[in-house]
Amino acid sequence: MDPVTAEILEHIARVEALRQERAADRQLAGKVLALKTYQAARFARTYADLLQDARYCGAATFFLDELYGPQEFAARDAQFARIVPPLVRMFPREIAETVNALARLHALSEALDTEMARHLPAARLDAPGYVRIWQTTGQPEARAKQIALTLQIGRALDHYTRSSVLRTGLRMMRGPARAAGLGDLQRFLESGFDTFGAMKGAEPFLAIVQAREEALAAALFDPRAESRLLTGIRNTADPASPLGQLP
């Protein structure tokens, strides 16, 4: 089996196992949903300026909807699992590698979300609670990897927009992809092409994402973070603090 195919299938299987585990534990499932909803709201708050910027709103919305949103990606995952071998054959190798990065990010995020949800006392969340479960869960290296994979996917999409061959090839794949049951994947890729292409260069956008996500990660793992939130620093004394991004 092709190594990329095997790796994508491994990531999908990991996500499916986590999904089945949550399906068997309604309380855990509710906590995971609460966490994902909170994190989507956090993203929207962190990037409120970009979401309203004419140049960057499309890419920011794409990240929110496709990478940070609370929605369930079971349909897309099922498509991947069913047709990964022909996917790797049908799409250009570069795109298959990006799909692999997406699968890796998806598996890592689902594992982290599930582990963090185990530390939630109830299916509701506020800023101090969010800091607390990050610090209880630990794994700053895993959070750094999440950020790196997100940027890798963004840079790959930006690179593809400069290739007329890839762009034309992707559009030509629209009919065959839908016929093969790859409609969700095709939509993801075309949406990425369209939004990143519209920016006419994604590096400024990705640099903002990297700076803000890394700053927030550092703040979340700071042992003083929860006390800073509880003493009001988030809203008053240090309004520029990354912790001020938390709803």
Give the pLDDT confidence score for residue 240 in this predicted structure.
Answer: 58
pLDDT of 55: 93
* Structure tokens given for 245: 């991004």
pLDDT given at position 80:
66
Contact yes or no for 102/210 (Cβ under 8 A): no
Please check whether residue 65 is in contact with residue 194, taking contact to mean a CB–CB distance below 8 angstroms. Answer: no
How far is residue 80's CA from residue 206's CA, in Å, rounded to a whole number? 27
What's the one-letter identity of residue 26? R
Q: Are 60 and 50 in contact (CB under 8 A)?
A: yes
Which residue positions in the chain have pLDDT lower than 70? 1, 69, 71-76, 78-83, 86-88, 90-91, 164-167, 169-170, 176, 179-182, 230-240
Q: Residue 236's pLDDT is what? A: 42
Average pLDDT, the chain: 84
Rounded to whole angstroms, how far apart are CA atoms 88 and 102? Answer: 14
Share of the chain above pLDDT 70, in %: 81
Q: Are the CB atoms for 123 and 29 separated by under 8 Å?
A: no
- Write down the pLDDT at residue 87: 65
> What is the pLDDT, as a whole number, of residue 211?
95
What is d(CA 47, CA 192) in angstroms, rounded to the nearest whole number? 18
Q: How far apart are CA 239 and CA 229, in angstroms?
A: 11
What letter represents residue 130's amino acid? Answer: Y
Q: Taking every pair of C-alpha atoms in the chain, what is the biggest distance, in angstroms?
A: 57
- Report the alpha-carbon distance of residue 34 to residue 51 in Å, rounded: 23
| Model confidence pLDDT, tens digit, residues 98-152 | 888 988 998 999 999 999 999 999 888 999 999 999 999 999 999 999 999 999 9
Query: Which pLDDT value is given to residue 66?
Result: 79
DSSP reduced 3-state for 224 = coil
